[in-house]
Amino acid sequence: MLELLGNGIVTVLQWKYMLPLLLGTFAGVVGGSLPGFTITLTVIVILPFTYGLDPLAGLAAMTGVYVGGSTGGLITACLLGIPGTPSAIATTFDGFPMARNGEPGRAIWLGVWASVWGGLLGALFLVFVTGPLAAIALEFGPWEYFSLFVLAMAMVAGLTESSLLKGLVSTAIGLLVTVIGTDPIGSVPRFTFGSEFLAGGFQFLPVLIGIFAFAQIMTDIEKLGDPATRAKAALRTTFEGFSHFRVNWEIFRQPFLLLWSTVVGLIIGILPAIGGSASSVMAYDQAKKFSRTPERFGKGHPEGIIASEASNNANVSGSLMTIMAFGIPGDAVTAVMLGAMTIHGIQSGPLFVSQNPGLAYGIYGAYILAHPLMLIICMAAMPLMLRLTSVRLAVLAPVILVLCVMGAYALNNTMSSVYVLLIFGVVGYALVKAGFPLAPLILGLILGDQIEINLIRAIMTDDNVWLFLTRPISGGLLAAAALSVALAIWQHIRHQKRTAGEEDTDF
Partner 1 sequence: MRLGRDGIAGLIGLAVSLALLPYAFGLPQLPIVPIGPGFYPKLVLTFMAATCALLVLQDLIVQRRAAAPPEPAEPAPTRAYGLVAAAFVAVAAYIGLLPLLGFRIATVLFVAAFQLVLERPTTLRQWLILVAVAVGTSALTHVAFEKYLSVLLPRGLWTGW
Residues that bind partner 1 (CB under 8 A): 48-49, 51-53, 163, 165-166, 168-169, 172-173, 175-176, 179, 183, 185-186, 188, 190-191, 217-218, 221-228, 392-395, 397-399, 401-403, 405-406, 409-410, 413, 415, 418-419, 421-422, 425-426, 429, 434-436, 451-452, 455-456, 459-460, 463, 501
Decide if 69 contacts 337 (C-beta within 8 A).
no
20 vs 302 by CB, closer to partner 1: 20
Minimum CB separation of residue 398 from partner 1 in Å reads 4
Decide if 86 contacts 41 (C-beta within 8 A).
no
3-class SS of residue 10: helix
374 vs 458 by CB, closer to partner 1: 458
Q: Residues 10, 16, 19, 21: is their CA dihedral positive or negative? A: negative
Closest CA to 398 of 223, 217, 197: 217
At 432, the amino acid letter reads V
205 vs 451 by CB, closer to partner 1: 451
168 vs 305 by CB, closer to partner 1: 168
Strand partners, 189: 182
Residue count of the chain, please give it: 507
136 vs 185 by CB, closer to partner 1: 185
**For the range 238-244, what are the long-range contacts, defined as Cβ-Cβ under 8 Å and sequence gap of 24 or more?**
239/104, 239/105, 239/108, 239/382, 240/102, 240/103, 240/104, 240/105, 240/106, 241/105, 242/103, 242/105, 242/106, 242/109, 244/109, 244/113
Instruction: Name the burial class of residue 51, with classes exposed (0-12), middle (13-18) and buried (19+) by CB atoms within 10 angstroms of its CB.
Output: middle
In sequence order, the 6+-apart residues with CB closer than 8 A to the CB of 29 are 68, 69, 71, 72, 374, 377, 378, 381, 385
Minimum CB separation of residue 225 from partner 1 in Å reads 3
Measured in whole angstroms, the distance separating CA 128 from the mean position of its chain's CA atoms is 22
The distance between the two most distant Cα atoms of the chain, rounded to a whole number of Å, is 70
Backbone angles phi and psi of 92, in degrees to 5: -65, -30
Minimum CB separation of residue 146 from partner 1 in Å reads 11
Decide if 20 contacts 50 (C-beta within 8 A).
yes
292 vs 497 by CB, closer to partner 1: 497
Separation of alpha carbons 64 and 85, rounded Å:
15
Minimum CB separation of residue 325 from partner 1 in Å reads 26
- Which runs of consecutive H residues, i.e. helices, occur in 38-162? 39-50, 55-79, 89-100, 104-138, 142-158
Strand partners, 182: 189
Minimum CB separation of residue 393 from partner 1 in Å reads 7
Backbone angles phi and psi of 392, in degrees to 5: -75, 150
190 vs 387 by CB, closer to partner 1: 190
286 vs 416 by CB, closer to partner 1: 416
123 vs 421 by CB, closer to partner 1: 421
229 vs 291 by CB, closer to partner 1: 229
Minimum CB separation of residue 499 from partner 1 in Å reads 12
Minimum CB separation of residue 410 from partner 1 in Å reads 4
Minimum CB separation of residue 485 from partner 1 in Å reads 11
Minimum CB separation of residue 190 from partner 1 in Å reads 6
Minimum CB separation of residue 481 from partner 1 in Å reads 13
3-state secondary structure 287-308: HHHHCCCHHHCCCCCHHHHHHH
Minimum CB separation of residue 446 from partner 1 in Å reads 15
Backbone angles phi and psi of 189, in degrees to 5: -65, 135
At 17, the amino acid letter reads Y
In 3-state terms the chain splits into helix, strand, coil percentages (rounded to 5) of: 75, 0, 25
2 vs 395 by CB, closer to partner 1: 395
- Which runs of consecutive H residues, i.e. helices, occur in 344-471? 352-355, 357-388, 393-412, 416-433, 439-461, 467-470
CB atoms within 10 A of CB 286: 17
9 vs 19 by CB, closer to partner 1: 19
Separation of alpha carbons 359 and 354, rounded Å:
10
At 122, the amino acid letter reads G
186 vs 345 by CB, closer to partner 1: 186
Separation of alpha carbons 112 and 181, rounded Å:
46
Minimum CB separation of residue 448 from partner 1 in Å reads 8
Minimum CB separation of residue 159 from partner 1 in Å reads 16
